[in-house]
Amino acid sequence: MIKVTFNSPEEFAAELELGKPNNNILRLTRLIEFSKQMLPIRYISVVGTFLRDGQIVKLVRYCGDHWGNGCESDSKTIERVHKVMTDLEDVARSLKIDVRAGIYEEAKE
């Protein structure tokens, strides 16, 4: 299966607007990855995926790091996550596309 990847939420939304997903579902979630160098830093991204015409169309948008101590950068990261997810949910809603959690990934054999 071919994968088409975007880093820009605006470009991903434009691609979604070009044609509905095969199953009318947009998968949208927060991806949290722990730093390998400094705990407890977490890197937070928004990942969106949908299936269309034998392709997985994917957005990976890094939103920032989260230290978990309530600092200003934590708040800004959470705000960026919320904005990206809300904007994409609004686009999907306007196109009458269902939004569900999770990530479409190609099955490994």
Indicate whether this model's pTM tops 0.85. yes
- Sheet containing 25-34, strands listed edge to edge, beginning at the edge strand earlier in sequence: 2-6, 55-66, 42-52, 25-34, 98-100
Note the pLDDT of residue 36.
79
List, for residues 6-60, the tens digit of each pLDDT value.
999 999 999 999 999 999 999 999 999 988 777 788 999 999 999 999 999 999 9
* 5 three-class SS: strand
Domain boundaries, the chain: 2-100
Judged on CB neighbours under 10 Å (0-12, 13-18, 19+), 63 is buried
List, for residues 52-102, the tens digit of each pLDDT value.
999 999 999 999 998 887 778 888 999 999 999 999 999 999 999 999 999
State the CATH architecture for 2-100: 2-Layer Sandwich (3.30)
Helix (H) or strand (E) holding 62: strand 55-66
